[in-house]
Structure 1
Amino acid sequence: MTTLYPVQDVFTRGEISPRLHARASLDLYRAALAKCENFVTLPHGGIRKRGGTVFVGAVKNAARKTRGIPFIFSSEQAYCLEFGDLYIRVYAYGARVGTVEVASPYLEADLFDLAYVQSADQMWITHRNYPPKVLTRNAHTTWTLDDYPFEDGPYDDINDTSTTLTPADYGSLAPDMTGLTSPSGTVTSTGGSSSAWQAFDKNSGTDVFFDNITAGFIGYQLPGGAQAIVDHYTVTTTDGTRVDRQPVAWKIEGSNDGSTWTTIDSRQGESGWTGGEARFYEFFNKTPYEYHRFRWLSVNGNTSSQFAEVTMNKAAASQTPFDLTASSIVGINDDTGFQTSDVGRAVRLLGSDGRWRWAKIVSRVSTTVVTIQLYGFALPDLSPITRWRLGTFVPGKYVETGSLYEERLAFSRKFSVYASATGDFDNFALGEKDDDALEFIQAGGGQANDITWIADSDGALLIGTSGGIRALSGSGIDEALTPSSFKNRRSRTFGCARIRPVDAGQSFLYVTRSRRSIAELTQTSAGKFSSDDIGQISEHIPKQGVVELAFQTDPDPVLWFPLENGELGGYTHQPSQEVRGMHRHRLGGGFAGSTPGEPNWPVVESAVVTPGQNGVDVIWLFVKRTIAGVTKRTIEIMTPPFEYGGLDDAFQIDCGLSYSGAAVNVVSGLDHLDGESVDVLAGGKVYKGLVVTSGQVTLPGGATAARWLVGLPYQAQADTLELDVGGREGSIIGRRKKVAKVMMSLLETDTTGLEVQSLLRGRWEKVRMPSIVAPEGKADLFTGNVEVPIDDSWEGQGRVRIRHVNPTPCTIRAFTPVFDAEP
């Protein structure tokens, strides 16, 4: 027999698939484990017991599933949002934010289909069955959830039926005037012209003439002291022989007493008029006034002034809604006519002047009549409108996912992508200017594959579809995406699930269509990407079904992903150092499911990563357990991994709490664990199997401690592979071998909780090193090498199991099984 000493000092490939347990020829084999549970593979090569979890609080309703969503204003201001059935709660820095609770429309069944995109203090939330909402942080303890007001789009195709829409009003400041005071309001002007009302008669064939006057005013006073906001207006010239009398410089002014005037818009150099020309102007104004006037300062070269119309709008905020009547139901909602669900929907109308306006439906009267508020420019007349478009968003057809890209807010639905105007997230009005809003139909490519997510990447808007990933960008290198400059490239990738991808620094990580594998998306050249299945060597882990993704960058780059079987998957991801290792985590406690085959370990239902105040990322977990026979759902934070500290800093229990203060024999406040058996690290001593009674735990024997860590126990376990060191006659894989002992290199490890076992023998061998046990039975941390003899058989394959069972740290830097093998 030959004694062999195969060292394994790298575990960066984590737990690999059972299908690879005999593939010793693979380079990754010597860096892999057969099992890696509650250990995290480190970029440095070793494995470290994961941090425990701190109890933050119970969810509002333990009977219903909840989801966590991050809200990150900055690295110093970050929140975790508890999305539950019809509510949202807010948490930050390990605690709930006051009593903040926001009512929401989202049911339990819809929570994991919600998509979101955030900018500063606003988060846009989308779901195919709900109108888009915007969640706003007004202050740390003040949050609101409102409908998201799309302005002017997006829309369905232009009407191609014979159905017309007839408005009952113009949406203008003044009605169709027939005199200075009729039908309502009062028209005033320079010199008290008796024909001044013709500037407000909706007829460009009539005009107002001011003889030997090159500067003056014409105004309108609302009746009964009413006020209105004006932010759009139109100026129309008279016939072509009198354009030299047209004003070329003017001001729009408002007043609430008729004597003190405020300029709300001004124009200069408005020359080059043609006969009957109408020019349209818009400006910012939120102040209502009773009086408005058009005061011109100069004309186009004549000594007199003459113009046809000055049409000021009445902004929607101060407008009385009016009816819009359809001539039939054909072409409206699949020929069913207007529905109650159309309330809030946009409609675009092409006026007889060739200009599009948009309106919002504020109520539904019948299948052919709705009440609208008109936005922007007033209508030129009340004639039936033949060309119109209804807003594209209706129940079951709302936007499904969103992203920010090049200062645009983008949304997707089915096969389409809609992007706002640059820097104006509310404006989706299409146009031809570079900064106008965009709309791409069949953005998912030639195949009819649904878009599952969109995400911002360097130089492209990534479009994940059920058939693969595409990149939407400007047509040239480093060229902005505009209505006239775009390209939509296909990449060699996998189909995507409806799970939000994560940015992992140099690449994106996403879940494939089956939800049973995770792929890495990397950029190969400008606008071109490729994908690899990062979980292929550990395919048995994501095959349990990935629920969502959360990526931690500090202190180590780790992807966390809850699985449908209740485990928490982990993936240490540092491709530049060839670190790609998966691991599995089962939290302390248990879940007694009512359905056969359900796991008996706690179920991690959601995971969220937010920046921490100390620079270390915070991992929030939403966990379902059975406590004292009752299903409980809790929010917990995974503590940072233990490194370079004292034993009292090690938090290696789950759903736990800590106490610091005077030395005591009893601690309370553990009501969430009532009736459970817990582990305690108190005063440096380990106490196992203590029972929580009435929310309290008592140390045995009257012992007291000033520092306590109390929670549910969990153990970390690593199973090794059959190491192949080779020999004169080739590989020793599959040959009989017997392990005599194990040598391990440890870092800051409590060896009293470390045990080793042969793969086939049932007895766990403890690491016995009395020289490192502190006085009075206190645990201590050891760094160095240890040897553990093992009772093995010749059928053991040279494989061993390592576990750590105490609520204390454990880091294994290297492992060497010493075994005899057949020649």
Structure 2
Amino acid sequence: MTRANDTQTNFTAGELSPDLQGRADLRAYANGASRLRNVFLRPTGGVTRRDGLRHVDRLPGTARLIAFDFNSEQTYLLALGDGRMDVYLGDARVFSQFTPWDAWHLPGLSWTQMADTLLVVHPETAPRRITRAAHDSWTIRTWEYPHEGHRYYEPYLRFAHPLISLAASDVLGAVTLTASSPVFAPAHAGTRLLLRGAPVSITGYQSSTRVSATLHDEIVTGAASSDWVEQAFSPVHGYPRTVTFHKNRLVVGGSRDVPHHLWMSKVGDFFNFDTGEGLDDEAISFALMSDQLNAIRALFSARDLQVFTSGAEWTVSGAPLAPATVTATRETRIGTQGPTVVRPLNVDGATLFVGASGRDLREYLFTDLEQAYQSADLALLARHLIRDPVDMDYDPARRLVHVVLADGALATMTNYRAERVTAWTLHTTDGAFKAVAETGGQVYAVVERAGVHALERFDAALTLDAALDGTASSPRRTWSGLAHLNGRAARVLADGADAGTVMVADGAITLDAPASRVVVGLPFAHEIAPLPPVVSGGRGGGPGTLIRLIRATFRVRDTAALVVDTGAGPRPRPFTTLGPHPVLDQPPGPRDGDLSVRALGWQRDPRVPLWRVDQDAPLPCTVLSVTTEVKVTD
């Protein structure tokens, strides 16, 4: 028999796909794991039990979360729900207002911010601007375009066939417009167009070829002419799909009826889309033309304007960015997921976006070596974890990218490109994650539990979900203020010790023993399991080789509980050691150092991990490295 020692010094490859359990030749194999659940992976390599979720507020329904950073000291969180907007400053709700977006609009919302204004668009609803005046004063208005008289400087476009002409019954004032082919719909009433360059307001619908209108400027003749364009954004042809600011211009990407078109405002005049004479500072309008007509799904302002479509990734550049110099270049052909809008993120100069398959997270980055953009798949080694993302955001303090999945799980990637760290873990809760956002250094989530939606925040001081904490000047048994947990079996941490499970009734709990400090919430279990060991016996190992774990030594930090399964079921490892001055009535404090666990028995199935950390104890746990001593049959 052969003895072998192996030390896994870090977990910087994260959880690897089961498809890779035979690829011990990969560099990631030595630093990976077969299962990482409800843990955060530190960029330095350790694995720690994830933060608990603090209950912030009950929501009337599902919501999209938007971080609104007015400045570094004033950061807000906007929760857009079914016809409602709630504004949070810290954990306090400071403002609420009705909105035009129903629940079905929420997945398709896109937005961008400039100072105290947030622009929100949806292809089926007129675009809005949300403006902050004070903590408790916000307004929502439709976009207003500058105008001279009745000439509005908004985007215009020719939707009808170029050969379809329009004739006016007169050259000024109230007229009847007659089209040579059917082009009008009842929704045209109230919209605007330009006929021979003159502004026209449509006042009524008569038929698919006739409308009543007001011609505001006199034209030379009312004879049939093909020189006419319509409002680009209207109830007839839909509204913008996505927006951003780039090089002092407001950029609109696509609309419902022309999903591949780009509009850029005049420089410094964000709602003025007058193309004028094509001067450098005037508006720009063009379509992305290629072998495929792909809908624009997202825009991102970087060194160049990055345009993410359903089938390819483009850059729009120009020196300067002007009508005469603008250039659109297709860089890669990956495509972006839709129709749910998952906004791209900037992480260390790279743009992260969800691929069209819904099974990958791409890093869109200009490389000096190729002098071109590349779209590397960051989820290649953990493809089993990524299934149809619906939202994501980045926590720069911990270098964590949180991705909300359609099934209610939360996939998290630790990303540190300078050290080649790309590591995935998966989080679950008693319920389903619906949305996520980071603002002011805090990560918030919308969580649905038993049909009820709540706003919760990751909090390192808590080790339970939907949790609240409390203190009292003198120990007591009854604690209230837990209405959001009514009828639930809650876990309790009392004076730092695990007090077990207590039912919540009428928003309160009663403990078996009085306590001065409590944390009450829903439990979750975290799990760490290694990949199959890479060892060989005297005959070279391989199928049928028996292996026995002799000892596993865990190097831990700030750990108050460690529950390890070495084949006989999860068992807590003792932490208390009696010294000269034992304090027997206090819970064990966090411990640093090495903890060894001995094991018995042989195993033949390589799919069964030699050891596994599996614990729901609401106590801190961080594993830095694991050293295993095994015996292999010859």
Report the residue type matching 1:60 in the other structure.
Answer: P
Give the distance between the partners of 2:497 and 2:448, measured in 1 at CA.
Answer: 30
2:203 corresponds to 1:346: no
- Whether 2:457 is the aligned partner of 1:637: answer yes
SS of the residue 1:775 aligns to: coil
Q: CA RMSD in A?
A: 2.4
- Confirm whether residue 763 of structure 1 aligns to residue 587 of structure 2: no
Does residue 445 in structure 1 map to residue 287 in structure 2? no
Partner AA of 1:453 in structure 2 = A
Q: Partner residue of 1:606?
A: 435
8 Å Cα contact 1:152-1:358 kept in structure 2: no
1:81 Cα shift? 1.6
Tell me the CA shift for residue 366 of structure 1: 4.5
Look up the match of 1:573: 415
- The aligned counterpart of 2:38 is 38
1:622 to 446, 450, 454: 446
Counterpart pick for 1:583 among 414, 419, 425: 425
Tell me by how many angstroms 1:578 deviates.
1.0
Mapped contact 1:365–1:371 kept (Cα < 8 A):
no
Other structure's SS at 2:294 match? coil
Structure 2 runs not aligned, ≥5 long? 146-151
Amino acid at match of 2:490: V
Residues 811, 722 of structure 1: alpha-carbon distance in 2 compared, 3 angstrom cutoff: same
Distance 1:373 1:76 in 2: 51
Q: How does 1:657-672 map to 2 (within 5 A)?
A: 657-663=468-474, 664-672=476-484
SS in 2 for 1:582: strand
Pair 1:346–1:166, CA change in 2 (3 A): same
* Residue number in structure 1 paired with 2:149: none
In the superposition, the TM-score normalised over structure 2's length comes to 0.90
Q: Percent identity?
A: 25
2:250 aligned to 388, 409, 416, which one? Answer: 409
**Cα distance in 1, alignment partners of residues 144 and 323 from structure 2:** 22
CA contact (8 A) 1:444 1:463 kept: no
Structure-1 residue corresponding to 2:504: 692
The partner residue of 1:799 within 580, 600, 610 is: 610
Residue 104 in structure 1 maps to residue 99 in structure 2:
yes
Task: Give the match for residue 710 of structure 1.
Answer: 520
> Do 2:576 and 2:588's aligned partners in 1 also have CA atoms closer than 8 Å?
no
In the alignment, does 2:92 pair up with 1:95?
A: yes
Q: Structure 2 CA distance, aligned partners of 1:48 and 1:90?
A: 32
1:133 aligned residue? 128
> Counterparts of 1:68 and 1:326 in 2: how far apart (Å)?
47
Residues 1:530 and 2:368 aligned together: no
Shift of 1:107: 2.0
Find the counterpart in structure 1 of residue 64 from structure 2.
67
Q: Aligned ranges for residues 59-458 of structure 1 at < 5 Å?
A: 59-61=59-61, 65-97=62-94, 100-150=95-145, 151-157=152-158, 160-165=163-168, 323=174, 325-330=175-180, 335-337=182-184, 339-343=186-190, 345-350=191-196, 356-358=197-199, 363-364=203-204, 366=206, 368-370=210-212, 379=217, 384=222, 386=225, 387-395=227-235, 397-413=238-254, 414-431=259-276, 432-441=278-287, 443=288, 445-458=290-303
- Counterpart CA distance in 1 for 2:282 and 2:364 is 30
Alpha-carbon distance, 1:801 to partner: 0.9
**Residue type of the alignment partner of 2:24:** A
1:788 paired residue among 597, 600, 603: 597
Q: Relative to total residues, which structure has the larger strand share, 1 or 2?
A: 2
| Cα 1:372–1:138 shift into 2, 3 Å | farther
Q: Residue 575 of structure 1: CA displacement?
A: 1.2
Q: Quick check: 2:537–2:633 contact (8 Å CA) kept in 1? A: no
Q: Is residue 481 of structure 1 aligned with residue 314 of structure 2?
A: no
Change (3 A) 1:136 1:366: farther
Q: Which range moved further: 26-35 or 686-695?
A: 686-695
Give the secondary structure class of the aligned counterpart of 1:539: helix
Secondary structure of the residue that 1:515 maps to in structure 2? Answer: coil
CA contact (8 A) 1:4 1:818 kept: yes
Secondary structure in 2 matching 1:30: helix
Write the distance in 2 (CA, Å) between the matches of 1:734 and 1:447: 53
CA contact (8 A) 1:550 1:607 kept: yes
What SS is found at the alignment partner of 2:577? helix
CA distance, structure 2, for counterparts of residue 778 and residue 133 of structure 1:
54
Specify which of 459, 478, 493 is matched with residue 681 of structure 1: 493
Q: Alpha-carbon deviations, 1:784-805, whole Å to 9, x = none?
A: 0001123443225462211232
Give CA deviations for 1:277-332 in whole Å, capped at 9, x if unaligned.
xxxxxxxxxxxxxxxxxxxxxxxxxxxxxxxxxxxxxxxxxxxxx64x2331446x
Task: Return closer, same or farther for 1:675/1:408 CA change in 2, 3 Å cut-off.
Answer: same
* Runs (5+) with no aligned partner, structure 1: 170-321, 351-355, 590-601, 642-649
Where does residue 742 of structure 1 map in the other structure? 552
CA-to-aligned-CA distance 1:670-729 (integer Å, 9 cap, x gap): 00001212222222222111121211122213x221x22211111110111122256776
Asked if the contact 1:342/1:394 (under 8 Å) is kept, the reply is no
**Does 518-527 or 491-500 show the bigger shift?**
518-527
Partner of 1:263: none
In 2, distance between residues paired with 1:143 and 1:330?
A: 47
> What is the rounded CA distance, in whole Å, between the counterparts of 2:15 and 2:243 in structure 1?
35
1:724–1:733 contact (8 Å) kept in structure 2: no
CA shift digits 1:95-146 (9 cap, x unpaired): 211xx32222222122111111111111111111112121222221122221
The number of aligned residues is 606
